[in-house]
């Protein structure tokens, strides 16, 4: 292994020792960083984790082993070497037990220092590789556990594992409720950025007037109500992954600023002209085909943003295309709900199984989860067909709205054609809203995305029509 480029933090109260160690490390292409106290060293660890820590056993403000433990609290598994001016067996044993990769005695010898440094870096690299391989195996299994054992999910897990190792921007496409957020989380956990934050923003749930402040932050006084400086989500995701859920709902003005982040890795807070560098990997999800949106006459999505996001695309199949996952997921949701409700529901009747397998699941896994939770609540033993609350008396085709009504004439006399049309339009609109809200379990943001309207509009229409929305509960999907 080449040690060139590795950053090594040297912590010693003596300038001479720091200078000698720096020269040793520079001769092998490493980058030494010096601190003379534990306090200064810990601040350097916070602002930029080193690849290796070399710390004196006796610092002016703290014991070296104590400082090493504090540094490891900030950076897990940080490889460390303890240097001692007055070495003793007890201290050496304590250092190794605390996680040190080596213990060196002063005066330092060039070849001995480099031997221990190389060993510490090699061991650390090997440990990271083993953890990464283990995490990849666990996350592939975890994704299949969360989504099902079908061949479609197995292929999906393989795609996730392949792209996670890169720094590509990934576009995740799929219907609402199909599990796009699970895919995004798996990509982050399998990536080299797994130690960093995973920050998600639902572009359909934030009003258009607030989305730029959420994404990019703002300076104090930038607008009425901005009484203090606020960092945006992009800054919060520094060193990690930023997930733009339902990016198809992002306003065009915000898309232009997003393009700057994707191209230049910089942002500007609202009210500031100073660029801020951000180190983030961007994942985006959409329940609509972004290519179609770029080609539509209205041009609701920018082509340049689409091509920047689309370095790699993952298509999450809907539940109706992986029917072998339906019973697996249904049983998994039964088990989870049993724990929550302290019940022991175990089986399905055959008619219930036939119904589950024959239904097209327009709301995908989220709809299945809501239905199973309700069924477990209603029964004490076995789930029958009567416990499954399907939207209609028979399986509906995807996108089909239940209960089409005939034209209704308003009770007022002398109604014009325009008034009759308006009256029936309102009835149909109310019926569609009610259906979609039931399908999404009361999640207004999801319903707005399905109907291609903004959140403010659907909120107003629910109020106008006096609709009672089912209580939305955040779940796995």
Under the banding of pLDDT at 50, 70 and 90, the label for residue 221 is confident
Give me the pLDDT at residue 447, please. 82
Q: Is the pLDDT score of 449 beyond 80? A: no
Identity of the highest mean pLDDT range in 219-233, 284-298, 353-367, 427-441: 353-367
Give me the pLDDT at residue 402, please. 44
Q: What is the mean pLDDT of residues 452-470?
A: 77
Lowest mean pLDDT among 105-119, 184-198, 291-305, 313-327: 291-305
What is the pTM (predicted TM-score) of this model?
0.57
Q: Is the pLDDT score of 471 beyond 60? A: no
Which domains are present in the chain?
Answer: 7-128 (3.40.50.2300), 149-317 (3.40.50.300), 318-400 (1.10.8.60), 405-477 (1.10.10.60)
Under the banding of pLDDT at 50, 70 and 90, the label for residue 346 is confident
Which structure tokens are listed for 10?
């040297």
Give me the pLDDT at residue 384, please. 95
Structural contact between residues 234 and 296, judged by C-beta atoms closer than 8 angstroms: no
Q: What is the mean pLDDT of residues 270-274?
A: 88
Instruction: Tell me the C-alpha distance between 452 and 166, whole Å.
Output: 33
CA count, 13 A, side-chain hemisphere, 293? 21
Give me the pLDDT at residue 280, please. 93
Q: Give pLDDT tens digits for 70-103.
A: 998 888 789 999 999 888 888 899 899 888 999 9
Q: Give pLDDT tens digits for 151-185.
A: 999 999 999 999 999 999 999 999 999 999 999 99
CA count, 13 A, side-chain hemisphere, 172? 28
Under the banding of pLDDT at 50, 70 and 90, the label for residue 247 is very high
Q: Is the pLDDT score of 58 beyond 80? A: yes
Percent of all residues in the chain with a pLDDT value above 90, rounded to a whole number: 49
Instruction: Tell me the C-alpha distance between 45 and 74, whole Å.
Output: 7
Nearest CA to 467 out of 449, 442, 446, 440 is that of: 442
Structural contact between residues 133 and 140, judged by C-beta atoms closer than 8 angstroms: no
Please, what's the b/e burial string for 98-110 (b: 16 or more CB within 10 A of its CB; e: otherwise)? eebbbbbebeeee
Q: Alpha helices of 224-363 — where are they, by DSSP H? A: 233-236, 252-264, 290-295, 303-309, 326-341, 350-358
Q: Is the pLDDT score of 348 beyond 60? A: yes
Give me the pLDDT at residue 396, please. 40
Under the banding of pLDDT at 50, 70 and 90, the label for residue 353 is very high
Give me the pLDDT at residue 403, please. 44
Q: Give pLDDT tens digits for 359-412.
A: 999 999 999 999 999 999 999 999 999 999 886 534 344 344 444 445 666 655
Q: What is the mean pLDDT of residues 315-324?
A: 93
Lowest mean pLDDT among 119-123, 131-135, 158-162, 281-285: 131-135
Rounded CA Rg of the chain: 29
Q: What is the mean pLDDT of residues 458-465?
A: 80
Q: Is the pLDDT score of 132 beyond 80? A: no
Give me the pLDDT at residue 476, please. 46
CA count, 13 A, side-chain hemisphere, 314? 30
Higher pLDDT, 197 or 131: 197
- The residues that bridge with 10 in the sheet, in sequence order, are 34, 54
Give me the pLDDT at residue 404, please. 45
Cβ-based neighbours of 428, under 8 Å, separated by 6 or more: 405
Count CB atoms within 10 A of the CB of residue 209: 10
Give me the pLDDT at residue 454, please. 75
Q: Is the pLDDT score of 22 beyond 60? A: yes
Under the banding of pLDDT at 50, 70 and 90, the label for residue 473 is very low
């Amino acid at each position: 292994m080449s040690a060139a480029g590795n950053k090594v933090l040297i912590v010693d109260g003596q300038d001479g020792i720091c200078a000698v160690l720096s020269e040793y490390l520079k001769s092998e292409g490493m980058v030494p960083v010096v601190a003379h106290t534990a306090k200064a060293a810990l601040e350097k660890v916070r602002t930029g984790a080193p690849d290796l820590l070399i710390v004196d056993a006796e610092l002016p403000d703290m014991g070296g082993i104590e400082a090493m433990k504090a540094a490891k609290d900030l950076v897990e598994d940080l490889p460390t070497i303890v240097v001692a001016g007055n070495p003793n067996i007890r201290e050496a044993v304590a250092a190794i037990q605390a996680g040190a990769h080596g213990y060196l005695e002063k005066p330092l010898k060039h070849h001995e220092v480099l031997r221990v440094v190389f060993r510490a870096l090699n061991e650390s690299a090997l440990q990271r590789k083993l953890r990464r391989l283990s995490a990849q195996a666990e996350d592939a299994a975890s994704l299949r556990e969360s989504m099902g054992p079908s061949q479609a999910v197995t292929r999906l897990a393989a795609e996730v594992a392949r792209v996670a190792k890169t720094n590509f921007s990934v576009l995740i496409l799929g219907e609402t409720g199909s599990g796009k957020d699970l895919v995004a989380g798996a990509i982050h956990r399998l990536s080299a950025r797994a130690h960093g934050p995973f920050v998600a923003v639902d572009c359909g749930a934030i009003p258009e007037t607030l989305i730029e402040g959420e994404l990019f932050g703002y300076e104090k006084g930038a607008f009425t109500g901005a009484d203090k400086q606020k960092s945006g989500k992009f800054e919060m995701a520094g060193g990690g992954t930023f997930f733009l859920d339902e990016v198809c709902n992002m306003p065009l003005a915000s898309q232009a600023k997003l393009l700057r982040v994707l191209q230049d890795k910089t942002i500007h807070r609202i009210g500031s002209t100073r660029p801020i560098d951000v180190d983030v990997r961007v994942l985006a999800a959409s329940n609509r085909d972004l290519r179609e949106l770029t080609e539509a006459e209205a041009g609701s999505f920018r082509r340049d943003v689409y091509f920047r996001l689309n370095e790699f695309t993952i298509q999450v199949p809907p539940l109706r295309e992986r029917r072998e996952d339906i019973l697996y997921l249904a049983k998994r949701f039964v088990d989870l709900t049993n724990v929550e409700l302290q019940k022991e529901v175990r089986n399905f009747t055959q008619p219930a199984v036939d119904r589950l397998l024959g239904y097209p699941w327009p709301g995908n896994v989220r709809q299945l989860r809501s239905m199973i939770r309700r069924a477990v609540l209603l029964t004490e033993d076995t789930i029958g067909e009567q416990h499954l609350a399907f939207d209609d008396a028979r399986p509906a085709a995807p996108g089909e709205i239940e209960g089409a009504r005939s034209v209704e004439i308003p009770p007022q006399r002398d109604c014009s054609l325009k008034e009759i049309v308006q009256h029936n339009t309102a009835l149909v609109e109310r019926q569609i809203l009610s259906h979609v809200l039931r399908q999404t379990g009361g999640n207004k943001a999801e319903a707005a995305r399905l109907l291609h309207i903004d959140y403010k509009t659907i909120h107003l229409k629910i109020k106008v029509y006096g609709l009672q929305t089912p209580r939305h509960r955040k779940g796995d999907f």
